[in-house]
Structure 1
């Protein structure tokens, strides 16, 4: 069985660049006529999805380069926790397709440069716990992957075997595992003291493992299903994930790898 650290320590910067470029290609191929296609995220069309990525990349650059300015952003988010993210994406989306795409391309390039130049030990402020640069790269992979899945689903494109999307899976899975305690916190629950062992299989047959091998609580199954679940792109019942132990099952029902309030997830059968 392979060492999971071998997979997750592959260059995350390259993984993020490849994934972003692939999502960009999907949007370009859809053309002007596909720009306002509805995605599985209620109220969000492709324009909103890309605008949100642009907004978040811009805010990430601010967090790295100007902590005081980012603090102002956080204050606005606290004042309107349920509408702030949507408002930011909607403001950018209103500028039109060409402007949104240009803004996203510029922002993700600036972010890539900022993350590579940052001190590896630096604690970058964020809406959740502060992150080191490597963790922020992983977070951007996770979010770009999740919104890329929404875009692909909206366009009817199967990316389950796409190299850029599958290459992101180890990074998303690792973040999904590491945010177990955070998911309980965001749901107002106390995280159980028990450890969980997670054993996942990538599309190419490679295995990923996280957590103590001797743990009684266990999660096994396809890495794709786990990543879809922790980004709330699939209902728990529509996955092939198997659990041993009540704590493991409870976690999967509230799992979220993203910062902020718990999302609504997907309805049962929406991605069967």
Structure 2
């Protein structure tokens, strides 16, 4: 087909020309078609509009209900896609332990001397601190032990950091790894819901392992940034575990910081495969039917706030309702972060 009113436009291939006239091409396809065919003449483009209107018709009256019924038959409302398999705190910690260990094994002695943390200093000193943390956890997990609560967890590991200070980095890593595996084995024995000390609070064994997953993930970020390595990317199963436990712990986090808004409820919509929707009563009572505020944010970003690796003021968040209440809650999401 030749457009006699637009000399030089040449022959049009029927199918691409028709799709171009109907504005039925993707942006990339449209660019390609216009480069090959030239812009579609405006009079011809306008002539296609009545054609499209002539064949337009109302959808069948039952289309919406049929589509909705078919969708609900495939997946109940409220279940995320893709469905995330439940993972235990022990499994989550073990996976994170293995990935953290792989990161450490990739570092040279020179990289281990880079500064990685404001309080702990070099990478090697941070790993030595973690070795001390694992030893403390092992004592706390001993049902016959009498390990004390230790509010200053940095001071509590200084003896271990000093003990490992002159060892080659590979040996420091080996000492941490052995202690971490021993702690995990002890945690897997017995009731996962039994209460144990953890620094200055009491938690369940499962809670301890979840918090330790947060801690290894956070320090993995510290070391990756210090040594120009990719950040540890937790799978959706671990993000679901961490975010759901975080939602459960929010009322306790606020109480720990001395904040207890009576009768207030926040609805969190955490986007991403490991997220979900949670109504959180901040005083631990039953959730209100209508929440006081809706907070929508990315699940990974909120977990970074909880791990004290992202300030709440830098969180990309959408808030509907009581903004002051949302800011109050987000300011205390990191209450249980332990560096």
TM-score range, shorter chain: 0.7 to 0.9
Matches of 1:168 and 1:82, distance apart in 2? 25
Partner of residue 220, structure 1: 296
Residue 238 of structure 2 is matched in structure 1 by 168
Distance 1:130 1:146, change over 3 A: same
Partner residue, 1:207: 275
CA shift digits 1:130-186 (9 cap, x unpaired): 2222222212111111111211222223336x3x46553223323332332343344
- Equivalents in 1 of 2:207, 2:85: separation in Å? 11
CA distance in 2, matches of 1:109, 1:125: 19
1:234 aligns with 2:291: no
Question: Aligned pair 1:102/2:171, yes or no?
Answer: no
Which is greater in Rg?
Answer: 2
The alpha-carbon distance between structure 1 residues 173 and 43, as it changes in their structure 2 partners (threshold 3 A), is: same
- Whether the aligned pair in 2 keeps the contact of 1:54 and 1:108 (CA below 8 Å) is yes
Question: Normalised by the size of structure 1, how large is the TM-score?
Answer: 0.78
* Alignment check: 8 A CA contact 2:220 2:231 kept: no
Q: Flag the 1:83–1:12 CA change in 2: closer, same or farther, 3 A.
A: closer
Going from structure 1 to structure 2, the CA distance change for 1:120 and 1:183 (only over 3 Å counts) comes to closer
Equivalents in 2 of 1:145, 1:253: separation in Å? Answer: 20
Show structure 2 runs of 5+ residues with no match: 1-77, 280-286
Mapped contact 1:2–1:207 kept (Cα < 8 A):
no
Equivalent residue in structure 1 for 2:247, among 163, 177, 180: 177
Paired position in structure 2 for 1:124: 196
Q: CA deviation at 1:259?
A: 5.8
Task: Tell me how far 1:114 sits from its aligned partner.
Answer: 0.9
Deviation at 1:200, TM superposition (A): 0.9
CA distance in structure 2 between the aligned counterparts of 1:89 and 1:167, rounded to whole angstroms? 33
- Pick the structure with more helix per residue: 1
Aligned to 1:32: 109
CA spacing shift, 1:254–1:121, aligned 2, 3 Å: closer
Give the distance between the partners of 2:312 and 2:337, measured in 1 at CA.
Answer: 20
Check 1:259–1:158 CA distance in 2 against 1; reply closer, same or farther (3 A cut).
closer
Tell me how far 1:88 sits from its aligned partner: 4.8
Distance 1:208 1:44, change over 3 A: farther
Q: TM-score, structure 2 length as denominator? A: 0.64
| C-alpha distance in structure 2 between counterparts of 1:84 and 1:176, whole Å | 26
Question: Which SS does the other structure have where 1:125 is aligned?
Answer: strand
CA 121–181 in structure 1, closer or farther in 2 if over 3 Å, else same = closer
Do the aligned partners of 2:137 and 2:183 also contact (CA within 8 Å) in 1?
yes
Equivalences for residues 3-14 of structure 1 within 5 A: 7=84, 9-14=86-91
| Structure 2 CA distance for partners of 1:3 and 1:24, relative to 1, 3 Å | same
1:112-151 to structure 2, matched below 5 A, reads: 112-151=184-223
Aligned length: 249
Structure 1: how far apart are the matches of 2:124 and 2:292? Answer: 44
Deviation at 1:119, TM superposition (A): 1.7
Superposed structure 1 runs of 4+ greater than 6 Å apart: none
